[in-house]
Structure 1
Amino acid sequence: MAGKTVLLYPCPELGHINPMVQIAKALVRRGASVTLAVADPPDKGAVLADVIAGVAAACSSIGVRLLPIPSREDKAYSHPVMWIVDAVRLANPALRELMRSLPAVDALVVDMFCIDALDIATELAVPAYVFYPSAAGDLVIYLQVPYVASSAPSSFKDMGDTVLKFSGVPPVRALDMPDTMEDRERDVGRARIQHCSRMPEARGILVNSFEWLEARALEAIRGGHCLPTGRSAPEIYCVGPLVDGGKIGESGGRYECLEWLDSQPKQSVVFLCFGSRGTFSMAQLSEMARGIEDSGHRFLWAVRNPPGHRSKLAEVDLEPLLPEGFLERTKGRGLVLKNWAPQSEVLQHGAVGAFVTHCGWNSSLEAIMSGVPMVCWPLYAEQRLNKVHLVEEIKVGVVVEGYDGELVKADELEAKVRLVMESEEGKRLRERSATAKVMAADAVKDGGSSDLALAEFLNNLGTK
């Protein structure tokens, strides 16, 4: 039987394109013909431009088609997410023309932000699926959000510590909901709730997680607990963990920081890294430096310029960003990197014993696959929800208090680092993380739950 033809349509954002590339590679390994259609805004930033260029260079087995959209130079947006929403809306006509030009498309797989492309799939009679790149626990919440939000007395932003209860996940404070959903009266709030409400229209949802990791959340969806009575959920395919082994387009050379880790004792190093957009104020960087120094533990720390800094990304000057004498006092015990670290490779290194992270799902999965417990410091998007799942449900991390305020204090970071690295609770976290590592490997191996789910997805294409 001829292989299936699948068209993937990611959101034009680093954390969404990377996992979509990984699922593309997984589908190609199974004999599918895959095309990645990426919105190509003329006003894209340097990071997105590098990612788009890197995808084409790194994925010779995958067709990459850029979808041009009109210039929007004079248009202002109330929230950065609305820039993305507008980009994919403007790219939809080019997507329609692409789909018409292809000989056959067995499935269109869209990112949640590209949900309006479901209309194009219906118009062209192509089965449509959603790829959800984050936690199944987030998906559970998002499926229920349209109904919870409509019955709430006010917007989430006005509810503070009020506990929201969703089927299948631990209780969530209203202030831990994504900022895009805080106010259902804002354009961004309306857009995100509309995205959530349309997901069940898809024929199925592919999730970047695995059965063992989030069994309760998955049961809530499949058991019909996330949608109103009479409305059935789409088929759920858990196909993760799908993570990028390094920066897209990055050469596979040996990094100096890995050589530094080679000389450190096993599980002795605390790794601090906060994703492509994780930046902190000067005051917060100072508290972080004091906390990690006072902990007494070895560390590897990727530092970026503070928000609004005039310097380009490559021009990080560490001396004025960190407390006076910090680099000299911690020389040998710690290593500070400018801007970026080869995160996946670092987490896989045996010298790393803890990961201070923003809880982006790609980063969280890399830690889980490496068996490294996390100190959770969520910053934006769905990261506060991920923190809830990682700490309270999956039990592979602890949270720093104060992340939702002005500053996380030095003694708080010190305490949580010591907890993970020194205490009995930290030992339990390491044991749980080691189990999660084994189960993640089992999920993606031949015959594992995620491997079988991907096969089932392909087998179901073309059936009613």
Structure 2
Amino acid sequence: MRRRHQEIKMTVILYPSPGMGHLVAMVELGKFILHHHPSLSITVLISPPSFNTGSTMDYVHHISATVPSISFHHLPTVSLDLLSFPSMEAVIFELIRLSNPHVRSALASLPASAFIIDFFCTISLPIAAEFHIPTYFFVTSGACIVAFFTYLPVIHNSTTESFKDMNRLLHIPGLPPIPSSDMMRPMLDRTWSEYQNFLNFSNEIPNSAGLIVNTFESLEPKPLQAIREGKCNPGGTTPPVFCVGPLLNTENQREEYNEVECMRWLDKQPSKSVVYICFGSLGLLSAAQLRELAVGLERCGKRFLWVVRSPPTEDKSRRFLKPPEPDLEELLPEGFVERTGDRGMVVKSWAPQVAVLGHAAVGGFVTHCGWNSILEAVCAGVPMAAWPMYAEQHFNRVVLVEDMKVAVRVVEDEEGFVSAEEVERRVVELMEGAEEVRREVEKKSVEAREAMAKGGSSIAALGKMVDLLTSA
């Protein structure tokens, strides 16, 4: 009888939000758990999105075919009126809210030993409590964001102002001073539903069994120390924090290397001579900004690999849907591709980013400061020029530049526009100067590998986390 009991696998249910970066990070967490603790079983709840989140379904089908030890439980589709939402975050929160009855049914039917949820999925935490399932938050951003969210109730209760109206520096334990204007975009106004949903996450942090963060100890020691010492939640309780990163999607790099033209082009370039420009799966520049960026790249004289996506549509009915393939002749200055063809390459919509950043020819990265992109650059030892656009990216830039010192700051005007002169200045600085930044990111690259190696800090944190969730 005892033997049969031991053969029953404990099931951990993962519940990501539908964004591509969040889904990939959550699945990588599942793979990481199974690699080191194969006796566990992993099931991922999927909320099918009716809007652009990147190629999530293609990714799910790929994982299903290549990692059979991870199973996917597809929740029923819910209908959304996309025209009624002010932001992508608002869409995601509503999708998660409408999916709650389906989550309850899933948890009732699936044998769950632990429930790991994205912070977008906070509304499902009380359901898990009904079933007495220990619930952990998985934060796909860094410990800097965890410090902020843990401290948010203190800020919220100390003022009636919205971040957009404060015009001051925010002093959050463990972080450099953050301008209130650099707060997460959907949280700038406290009357917005997105703000209220994120505040709910902050208030529920003490009720979780733990916080799992896609980072590593030596990348963010200051915020981690502040969180663990209780400075971010004075007078309250803080659950244990487990740093299990960097979790990256590195599979099929060799296949991508052989099949993608830009990788063959990189093979022909000198070491550390190419600046890579990409703004994530959802980062879209206006037509005017695309042309201005092109002018700056032409002026700087540096080798470049640039992923170009179509500008945001003016058709509100298609605002949250996948944009069309970009028309380079229409979007870029006349003759730009031909004039820069001896030192640059423009690709449409997508490049294998982990493989690109890991290529010896790449010496700099102009990035939107999404957390997955930051980790990929850090692991590759590539210095960054920080050009944020949405979500928590402005917040991340402050930490990257002022605390981690692995990036130079791209400066926008009051309207958020970046001039050609600024593009030229920052690309030249990134590729010719920024020696301290380059040294620091190369050091962090070594530390990232050590964290994920045998006996490393992230392996140890995973062991403690699994011990906790299997003992509950």
User: Is TM-score (shorter-chain normalized) higher than 0.5?
Assistant: yes
1:322-364 deviation per Cα after TM superposition (whole angstroms, max 9, x unaligned): 1122111111200000111111100000100000000000000
The whole-number CA distance in structure 1 between the counterparts of 2:53 and 2:240 is 36
Residue from 180, 189, 197 that aligns with 2:186: 180
Q: Which amino acid aligns with 2:343?
A: R
Contact 1:246 1:342 in 2 (8 A): no
TM-superposed CA distance for 1:50, in Å, is 3.7
Structure 1 residues 252, 267: closer, same or farther in 2, change over 3 A?
closer
Q: Is 348-357 or 426-435 further displaced after alignment?
A: 426-435
The root-mean-square deviation of aligned C-alpha atoms, in Å, is 2.2
Tell me the equivalent position of 2:44.
36
The whole-number CA distance in structure 1 between the counterparts of 2:67 and 2:457 is 26
Tell me the equivalent position of 1:131.
138
The whole-number CA distance in structure 1 between the counterparts of 2:86 and 2:275 is 37
Q: Which amino acid aligns with 1:108?
A: F
Residue from 307, 310, 316 that aligns with 2:312: 307
The whole-number CA distance in structure 1 between the counterparts of 2:45 and 2:256 is 24
Contact 1:247 1:342 in 2 (8 A): no
Q: Is 66-75 or 367-376 further displaced after alignment?
A: 66-75
The whole-number CA distance in structure 2 between the counterparts of 1:328 and 1:45 is 33
**Aligned pair count?**
458
Tell me the equivalent position of 1:192.
198
TM-superposed CA distance for 1:71, in Å, is 2.5
Q: Does 1:357 align with 2:367?
A: yes
Residue from 444, 450, 453 that aligns with 2:458: 450
Contact 2:309 2:325 in 1 (8 A): no
Superposed, 1:335-350 pairs within 5 Å as: 335-350=345-360
Q: Which amino acid aligns with 2:380?
A: S
1:404-441 deviation per Cα after TM superposition (whole angstroms, max 9, x unaligned): 63410111111111112112xx1221111111110000
Contact 1:372 1:430 in 2 (8 A): yes
Structure 1 residues 272, 403: closer, same or farther in 2, change over 3 A?
farther
Q: Which amino acid aligns with 1:222?
A: R
Structure 1 residues 247, 227: closer, same or farther in 2, change over 3 A?
farther
SS at match of 2:394: helix
Residue from 199, 224, 232 that aligns with 1:226: 232
Residue from 292, 296, 302 that aligns with 2:297: 292
Superposed, 1:24-423 pairs within 5 Å as: 24-29=30-35, 30-31=37-38, 32-41=40-49, 47-73=55-81, 76-102=84-110, 104-160=111-167, 162-229=168-235, 231-245=236-250, 253-308=258-313, 313=323, 315-402=325-412, 405-423=415-433
Q: Which amino acid aligns with 2:435?
A: K
Q: Which amino acid aligns with 2:140?
A: P
The whole-number CA distance in structure 2 between the counterparts of 1:212 and 1:46 is 31
Q: Which runs of 5+ in 2 are unaligned?
A: 1-5
Contact 1:69 1:90 in 2 (8 A): no
Q: Which runs of 5+ in 1 are unaligned?
A: none
1:116-143 deviation per Cα after TM superposition (whole angstroms, max 9, x unaligned): 2111111111111000011101110111
SS at match of 1:225: coil
The whole-number CA distance in structure 2 between the counterparts of 1:328 and 1:251 is 26
The whole-number CA distance in structure 1 between the counterparts of 2:302 and 2:210 is 46
TM-superposed CA distance for 1:74, in Å, is 8.1
Tell me the equivalent position of 2:26.
20
Structure 1 residues 75, 349: closer, same or farther in 2, change over 3 A?
closer
Structure 1 residues 357, 255: closer, same or farther in 2, change over 3 A?
same
TM-superposed CA distance for 1:463, in Å, is 3.2
Contact 2:210 2:239 in 1 (8 A): yes
The whole-number CA distance in structure 2 between the counterparts of 1:359 and 1:163 is 20
State the TM-score, normalized to the length of structure 2: 0.92
SS at match of 1:387: helix
SS at match of 2:280: coil
TM-superposed CA distance for 1:44, in Å, is 6.8
Structure 1 residues 45, 109: closer, same or farther in 2, change over 3 A?
closer
The whole-number CA distance in structure 2 between the counterparts of 1:166 and 1:281 is 33
Structure 1 residues 392, 154: closer, same or farther in 2, change over 3 A?
same
State the TM-score, normalized to the length of structure 1: 0.94
The whole-number CA distance in structure 2 between the counterparts of 1:62 and 1:313 is 31
Structure 1 residues 406, 389: closer, same or farther in 2, change over 3 A?
closer
Tell me the equivalent position of 2:444.
436
Structure 1 residues 156, 42: closer, same or farther in 2, change over 3 A?
closer
Identity among equivalent pairs (%): 41
SS at match of 1:402: coil
Structure 1 residues 232, 245: closer, same or farther in 2, change over 3 A?
same
TM-superposed CA distance for 1:252, in Å, is 7.1
TM-superposed CA distance for 1:313, in Å, is 4.4
SS at match of 1:105: coil
Q: Which amino acid aligns with 2:85?
A: Y
The whole-number CA distance in structure 1 between the counterparts of 2:452 and 2:173 is 27
SS at match of 1:440: helix
Moved over 6 A (4+): 43-46, 309-312
The whole-number CA distance in structure 2 between the counterparts of 1:168 and 1:462 is 31
SS at match of 2:126: helix
